[in-house]
Copies of this chain bind each other. A is one copy, B any other.
Amino acid sequence: MQILKNHPSLQHNPLSHLFSFPIHEVIQLHQFERGEWIVREGTPPNYLFYVLEGTAKIYMTHQNGKISLLNFIMPFEFIGEMELLQASFYSKGVQTSTKVTCLAIPYTCRDQILEDPLFLRHLCLFLSEKTAKMTIKYSTSLAFPLENRLAEFILQTADGDIYKEKHVTVCDYLGVSYRHLLHVLAQFCEQQILKKDGRYYRILNEEALQKLAGVLQHQ
């Protein structure tokens, strides 16, 4: 992790207008390498982060050794906001998938931050969307088999007609075993929906995927 000083993003940062005090005096710019842990599971961070560039993954480990990939974090999302609000919150692990640049506001400003109505409203909106997405994930995970959820995931993450996500990541994300993920992918290939092309999969029949994903229909 690296702290960038005197970087232009600091003066004209996208959060400053949410605060009534001169946030640029305390805000920092942190840069993480790919694969670094921004937050270690169980250890609350000392900053509220706001991602400017890059993506990361939120993980948690269960007693039985299973690992859940709870979500991807994208630019313009917060990290550490739940620990800021509730000191007792159990921190999930956050690991970068790419190089990540983010704004970092030290928790020492907690009281000031949590009194700014513009910021709080922004945070409410963020949390509301976060809840809504997680609720959808929860309910679809119970109501539909992998076939449908994977179809949606492939459509969401494909680059043109090429699907190339890492299996290990995907099975943590969709909450199924590696074995079963491969099994359903093989099924898609048999049905001529996908075609394995070396290390990638090529989408042969996008309509079929859309049909499978369509039944999830979350508004």
Contact surface of A with B, Cβ cutoff 8 Å: 42, 60, 62-64, 66, 68, 70, 81-82, 85-86, 89-90, 92, 114-117, 120-121, 123-125, 127-132, 134-135, 137-144, 175-176, 214-219
Q: Which residue of B lies closest to A138 (CB)?
A: B138
A-B contact pairs, 24 of them (CB 8 A): A60-B139, A62-B139, A62-B140, A63-B215, A64-B144, A66-B143, A68-B143, A70-B139, A85-B125, A86-B125, A86-B129, A90-B218, A114-B121, A115-B117, A120-B120, A120-B121, A123-B124, A127-B127, A127-B128, A127-B130, A131-B131, A134-B135, A138-B141, A139-B175
A67 to chain B, nearest CB (A): 9
Whether A70 contacts B124 in the complex (CB less than 8 A), given A64-B143, A86-B129, comes out as no
CA distance A140 to B216 in the complex (A): 21
Q: Report the Cα distance A16→B82, complex, angstroms.
A: 25
Other CB < 8 Å A-B pairs besides A117-B117, A120-B123, 8 of them?
A42-B219, A62-B216, A64-B215, A85-B125, A115-B121, A127-B127, A131-B131, A134-B134
* Complex Cα gap A60–B81 (Å): 28
Residue with the highest number of chain B CB atoms closer than 10 Å, among A81, A89, A127: A127
User: Contact partner of A134 among B114, B138, B176, CB < 8 A?
Assistant: B138
Rounded to whole Å, the gap between the CB of A104 and the closest CB of chain B is: 19
Pair B85/A138 contact, Cβ less than 8 Å: no
Q: Which residue of B lies closest to A114 (CB)?
A: B121
Inter-chain contact B127/A68, CB cutoff 8 Å: no
Residue of B nearest to A130 (CB): B131
Whole-angstrom CA separation of A218 from B117 in the bound complex: 32
- Which of the residues B116, B128, B130, B141 comes within 8 Å of A89, measured between beta carbons? B128
Report the minimal beta-carbon distance from A90 to chain B, rounded to whole angstroms.
4
